[in-house]
Structure 1
Amino acid sequence: MFTPTALVEVDYRQRAHEAEGTSGFAFARGRLGLRLSPTDWVTAVVTAEFIGDHGPYLLDGYAAFRPLRWLTVTAGYSKPPLFASFRHEPVATLPMPVRSSVVNEMRVRRDLGVEAQLRPRRAPIELIVRLGNGTKALLGNDNHTPTGYAALDLVLGRPRVDRRRHDLGVRLGIAGLVDDAGEHDAIAGRTPLGFTYARPVVADGLRVILEEHLIAYAGPVRLVIEAAWAREARTYDDDGDAGTPPVPVEPVESWGLTGELTWTIRGAWREVGAQPRGPWDRGDRWDGGALELATRLDRLWLGRGAAALADVGGTTGALSLKWWPTYFLALDLYGDVTRFDAPPIETPARSWSWTALLRASFFWGGR
């Protein structure tokens, strides 16, 4: 069975300062894709994305096989198992138009690799093991070593595939990444809409990221809490000779914590990976749609653990009101405020920033 997928997002943005980007109307994102399911145990997905005036480029390209009811094997370019809110919630279904700064900066958005997901029917657990490149590159790795991922979750009630429509539910787990990475930018400090207020240092060598997550459901309310820690090795070229190895220096550590609370004011309660629908959305008449209110608090601590680096970071609070007139349309009114631990280079006199956003979204097909 072929299912076309599409996503179009158009914004009106108002920013605190021109250094953070322009204000006005903007094309936020576009996606076109195809989902193929010739049987109930094979699925293939291909998606291309445009962001602003960039693209198209491949966002997803993978095949998933389910040889056993409790085992799914996925190969290709897809989401790694870091951050449950990112892994299980497509961007079109989010209660806020943008993900948290913690998730955006500490995740690996897509990776080329192979993974196995175990979901025993008689045990409330999910286990994912993945081997990939650890980079967004499609054609190869940045060195000769692969990246290892693993995630283990306790899943009860509504988040389980066979337990939807339950009043209560919880997903509680831990995930991690270990990689011997080539030279790359370490974790940076950015606002949810992408302004860099704390520039990254250059990292090279062992990279470890650990994250813990709790996603709880109680009727119309959903709570998401995610905490993460990263340690990235660094080196220094002390002689300028390309023939000699660089000297290791103190690694840099980063910490992140985010909490989000969502209340479905009107409509059917939120399910995992799906947008809420109106209370009588059966296709025979318009019922006014669904309405959600969401609030979020993010905190990033950057540049820790290395005496030569300054401690930087930022705190962001956000509020969003989202109306779903129907299951394939949404209108979102969003605002956030960020306080910087240290002023950005572009605007040394500022320690605060804010953004206001109105986003209209159209989406169709799949999850």
Structure 2
Amino acid sequence: MQTNLSAAAQALPHAQEAERILRSCVHCGFCNATCPTYQELGDELDGPRGRIYLIKQFLEHDTAGPTTRAHLDRCLSCRNCETTCPSGVEYHALLDIGRAALEVHAPRPWRERLLRTGLRAALPRPVLFALLLRAGRGLRALLPQVLANKIPTRITEPGRRPAPRHARRMLMLEGCVQPSLSPNTNAAAARVLDRLDISIVPVTEAGCCGAIDYHMNAQETGLARARRNIDLWWPLLQQGADTIIQTASGCGAFIKEYGRMLRDDPAYADKARHISACTKDLFEVLAEADLETIRIQAERRIAFHCPCTLQHAQKLGPLADQVLTRLGFNLTAVPDAHLCCGSSGTYSITEPVLSKKLRDNKLDALESGHPDLIVTANIGCQTHLDGAGRTPVRHWIELVDAALASQST
């Protein structure tokens, strides 16, 4: 694709990257075939190819407004299009550049700014989010339905975590909303890993990975959070911890991008590259283990929802299926498993109508095999799907932990 960026666009921090990505697109349209919003809305501008054209037009002519922003906002950032693109277009990076530049060029109406500011103020702060969630449970009947559905009704208490006692040590990002929405997930992961002779070293000060701010066009704030986490993890990695483990695939996908996003920061480039290289999803860690020692006896039929951040961003969908099969899960078939559930970070709040439609489509697919339970690997997907009040949804590691606990009693 030929490009001719305007003088204003050429002055952007990532102008050369944007131009390189634009030129890599051959506008074949294969991406539209797997884009959830294009399939649902049927509008060329609500597919990756159309959005690339909108970003190109904006960067070349400095002309864009609410219509362009609406089409870019409706993108889920699921990266399904990247999985099917024959040219390797780094669409998600171009989208971040275009959205950030448009945010400055065409400011949002005050209601949208207020909503986004509120989300950015609450979600990345675990203590504040926990307080708001507690208040929300008491006021659920008064809340808008889109928020009430986010408050889980099925919560498993975390229980005891093993103290570090093994030679092999890993770090684990606790996350920002997961400790309140699904407090047992990280504790269950720590107990399962302990059975595999791996200890989790707590780093409670490490907070949000930065994805919430970054993907809501407050990119410098997101990168500041990334730098803070790097500062906290770095000395522990130097002391012998070999991996930073993620139980939320959305966080893992973002941390694996630290190296790319901070590559021009002389103080953090090398450290960020190393952090990304030693970051692993929980599935990656278990794939290397002797799973036969913790194999479960699966009586219930389970449907696995593979989050977009796991299958499209981290390319771990096949590995996840292998691990679950090796563990003994009785998995049902899920048609169109590549499609997004509509959660996508804050998308279910900023785009509630379309998000709900995508969620219902995904649940229909997941439930087509008549599972007793749905499992997933990302807190956003888990909360979003479970909020429909249909088949219960949990993190897959909790089932492994519960099975091991029942075997030892």
Give the structure with the higher percent strand. Answer: 1
Q: TM-score range by the shorter chain?
A: under 0.3
- Give me the TM-score of the superposition, normalised by structure 1: 0.26
Give the structure with the higher percent helix. Answer: 2
